[in-house]
Structure 1
Amino acid sequence: MRNNRILFLILGLFFFAIGGLLLVTNLVADEPFHTSFLLMFALTVMCFCLSYLSPHFQQKDERMKLIREKGMFFSVIALMVYLIIFNLGLQIEFFTLAANELLHILTALIICTVFISFVVYSRIY
């Protein structure tokens, strides 16, 4: 159990370093802005959340099932809101995004929403 927390913490720091490196190279380069660094930061959030949740996930009780259920329900609602915002924003040309940029942003938002909602619900219940 303790090894899982340390492993997730080390992986989170590793992903944070890679994401920071991608962001710095993205800012230094004279090319258009890439959103690939968002995935590394999303993985960082995921690893840090799993580091916190590791002792909770070891238990297979009703509390953990409730946390997962509520977290996933909130994440589905948030995903619908994200999709509506992106759909409206693209249709009225509030912003223009390439398909891969949109997928990077949506994937990062989904990963962060799921695992942060797990942490929030673990604190509540």
Structure 2
Amino acid sequence: MKATIKAKENQLIYLLLGIFLTGMGIYLNYVKILNWEFPDSIMLLALGVNQLMLAYLSPHLFPKDKRSKAIMGKAMVINYFVLFATILVLFLLTSSFGPLILDASQVLQLLFCVMVIAIPGTMVVYSRLI
């Protein structure tokens, strides 16, 4: 009983924070995206999407049972490969013959955004499969 109350409380916090961060991310990034420039505040948008996915995952993860541990374990295994695939793709796209011209901080921002979205994204997939 207490775990479901805590899960609902966390879900509400994640939802409100996700709506706020996603709204701020869209507001701060839309001009740069429309002008085909690299958005400065792309991490806010990624964190907002992360919080929205965690709001969905809260009832599945906060009862610390076998199912939640299986969801987290399988998601981490997949995210290991997602990390290396993302590094490979960013390396190929930004190398000397690649079509993108990004500096190091932009590449790290993209890598951060992919990981922040991929971790709860794979958990969402596994929460539906398990």
TM-score range, shorter chain: 0.7 to 0.9
Q: Distance in 2 between matches of 1:12 and 1:45?
A: 6
In the TM superposition, structure 1's runs of 4+ consecutive aligned residues that sit over 4 Å from their partners are none
Count of residues in correspondence between the two structures? 123
Instruction: After TM superposition, list the pairs within 5 Å mapping 1:39-78 onto structure 2.
Output: 39-78=43-82
* Aligned residue number for residue 13 of structure 2: 7
1:17 aligns with 2:23: yes
**Structure 2 vs 1, CA of residues 82 and 27 (structure 1 numbering), >3 Å: closer, same or farther?**
closer
Structure 2: which 5+ runs fail to align?
A: 1-6
Q: 1:36 offset after TM fit, Å?
A: 2.9
Q: 1:27 offset after TM fit, Å?
A: 5.5
| TM-score, with structure 1 as normaliser | 0.88
- Determine which of 118, 121, 124 is the counterpart of 2:126: 121
AA matched with 1:98? D
**Structure 2 vs 1, CA of residues 3 and 9 (structure 1 numbering), >3 Å: closer, same or farther?**
same
Contact 1:35–1:101 under 8 Å retained in 2: no
- Determine which of 100, 106, 111 is the counterpart of 1:106: 111
AA matched with 1:52? Y
Structure 1: which 5+ runs fail to align?
A: none
Point out which structure has higher relative CO (alpha carbons under 8 A, 6+ apart).
Answer: 1
Q: Distance in 2 between matches of 1:14 and 1:22?
A: 12
Contact 2:14–2:51 under 8 Å retained in 1: yes
Q: Distance in 2 between matches of 1:97 and 1:27?
A: 15
| TM-score, with structure 2 as normaliser | 0.85
Q: 1:6 offset after TM fit, Å?
A: 1.2
Q: Distance in 1 between matches of 2:116 and 2:45?
A: 10
Q: 1:89 offset after TM fit, Å?
A: 2.1
